[in-house]
Amino acid sequence: MSGRFITLEGSEGAGKSTNVDTVCETLTEAGIDFVRTREPGGTPMAEALRDAMLHKWDESVDGITELLLVFAARAQHLSHVIRPALAAGRWVVCDRFTDATFAYQGYGRRLDLEKLAALESWIQGELQPDITLYLDVAPDVAEQRIAAREKDRMEVERRDFFVRVRQGYLDRASEHERFEIIDAGNPLQEVQAEVRLKTSEFIRRARRG
């Protein structure tokens, strides 16, 4: 069986980290060899770019700077982690990928979607996730869940930004069959059960070829 590329997406407060754990547990139980990673990040240099991108600078951060930082980190991550793992037949579980760029920089920051698509095809070529689990949660619920957290530069954005981010994900999901939308407004245990089910179904399909 060749390697498969699984991504998880969702706004802050959607319970993404716990559900990445759930995907990884399901793969381990199925005896699948995988790499767990995240974006922006996944290599020492890409993690440094992540820190630069999330840091609360004393100057405003231009949307284009933000966009190029996430794609710079992605280029490094693809060449050092994602492509080598897939080429070796390993699975890759990635906490966020380019759908986040469309949602946050495209819809959130209102950057030109055609330019994003051009960067996407330049940096990734034909590579796309095989399945994307999108944890969907209403911005007001998400806001309550992260209220007590120390927030990074993205998390301090206002509600209307997250309303646009969510719309970005939903539009992207309607355009790409690889998306599974999971209602992350439900209690965490129910969300995890659904994530486990979707992952198991995907493993079964992959095994059938």
Residues that bind ligand TMP (CB under 6 A): 12, 38-40, 70, 95-96, 100-101, 104-105, 154
Q: Which is nearer to ligand TMP, 91 or 107 (CB)?
A: 107
The distance of closest approach from Cβ of residue 145 to ligand TMP in the complex, given in angstroms and rounded to an integer, is: 13
The distance of closest approach from Cβ of residue 66 to ligand TMP in the complex, given in angstroms and rounded to an integer, is: 7
The distance of closest approach from Cβ of residue 149 to ligand TMP in the complex, given in angstroms and rounded to an integer, is: 10
Q: Which is nearer to ligand TMP, 91 or 104 (CB)?
A: 104
- Classify residue 186 by burial, with Cβ atoms within 10 Å: 0-12, 13-18, 19+: middle
The distance of closest approach from Cβ of residue 208 to ligand TMP in the complex, given in angstroms and rounded to an integer, is: 31
Q: Which is nearer to ligand TMP, 104 or 134 (CB)?
A: 104
Q: Which is nearer to ligand TMP, 100 or 191 (CB)?
A: 100
Integer Cα distance of 186 and 137 in angstroms: 9
Q: Are 26 and 200 a contacting pair, CB within 8 Å?
A: yes
The distance of closest approach from Cβ of residue 200 to ligand TMP in the complex, given in angstroms and rounded to an integer, is: 25
Single-letter amino acid code for the residue at 114: E
| C-alpha Rg value of the chain to the nearest Å | 16
Sign of the CA dihedral with 93 first, then 97, 99, and 100 last: positive
Q: Which is nearer to ligand TMP, 66 or 180 (CB)?
A: 66
- In the structure encoding, which two tokens stand for residue 82, read together? 């994602």
